[in-house]
Amino acid sequence: VQLQASGGGLVQPGGSLRLSCAASGSIFSINAMGWYRQAPGKQRELVATMSGSNTNYADSVKGRFTISRDNAKNTVYLQMNSLKLEDTAVYYCNARISTEIMYWVSRDYWGQGTQVTVSS
């Protein structure tokens, strides 16, 4: 199983970016998908998660970021609007996946990270 993230880049404050993360491989089911971020010198923190139709957001991004999924494509998106300087970080996608070989067990998988830089 692999998670491939894309969509990061450099944007000015107030701008927007859309991150994508596609899961591939011998997937039996995906229980949840989400995004985390890690700024320099800080611990990795939750940004947003989605399980079924339930979503969860960090307080710092509520009202600005929107998480969504395309189940047919095993892809999760993060639409980021009104970006702030403090949103600068490496963003990692996460998915809790059951594989075809061990369908009764689920575990977390991580993408490689994509850099988001908000700067004027």
pLDDT in tens, the chain (120 residues): 999 999 999 999 999 999 999 999 999 999 999 999 999 999 999 999 999 999 999 999 999 999 999 999 999 999 999 999 999 999 999 999 999 888 889 999 999 999 999 999
pLDDT score recorded for residue 78: 98
**Predicted local distance difference test score (pLDDT) of residue 100:** 86
Q: Give CA–CA dist 39/32, Å, rounded.
A: 23
Cα-based angle 67, 73, 78 (whole degrees, multiple of 5): 20
The per-residue pLDDT for 26 is 93
Residue 57 is predicted with a pLDDT of 98
- What lies within 8 Å, CB to CB, of 25 at 6+ separation is 1, 2, 99
Written as six digits, the tokens of 48 are 């947003």
